Amino acid sequence: MPSRRQRRVSDLIQEEISELLQKKVSDPRLSFVTVTAVEVSADLRQAHIYVSTMGDQQARREMLAVLKHATGFLRHELGARLALRYVPGLTFHLDDSLERSQRILQLLDQLEGDNREQSP
């Protein structure tokens, strides 16, 4: 379970990265990126950033490549904005929970429709 400090740092990083992606990074492949979560290691040296976007698998791969390329810039900007002793290393991950939840809802709707057809 993360400490209160980890949660605070995670929230700060999530807020700042979201703002940076909207205002400072001008790549059109990042136009619909949402930072869904940030997990910071216990020593606050590593931040795993989970992002979500609309589009197909190719668009998601391109988005992750752009984020990986912009990691140095984003880390530098975080250092200027946050009062942390160490700016954590940033690792971006694709958050596909939205797609999984939509698939589950689709399957539940399909099961409900099958049950209606079978009932007398």
pTM of the entire predicted model: 0.79
Residue 40 neighbours by CB under 8 Å, 6+ apart: 2, 6, 9, 10, 13, 46, 47, 48, 88
- Distance CA(46)–CA(84), nearest Å, equals 13
Domains contained in the chain, CATH given: 4-118 (3.30.300.20)
Percentage of residues in the chain with pLDDT exceeding 70?
93
Give yes or no for residue 34 having a pLDDT over 70. Answer: yes
Structure confidence at residue 119 as a pLDDT band (50, 70, 90): low
Neighbouring C-alpha atoms within 13 Å toward the C-beta of 63: 23
Question: What was the pLDDT predicted at 96?
Answer: 78
Least confident of 3-17, 30-44, 77-91, 104-118: 104-118
Give yes or no for residue 115 having a pLDDT over 80. Answer: no
Percentage of residues in the chain with pLDDT exceeding 90?
48
Structure confidence at residue 26 as a pLDDT band (50, 70, 90): confident
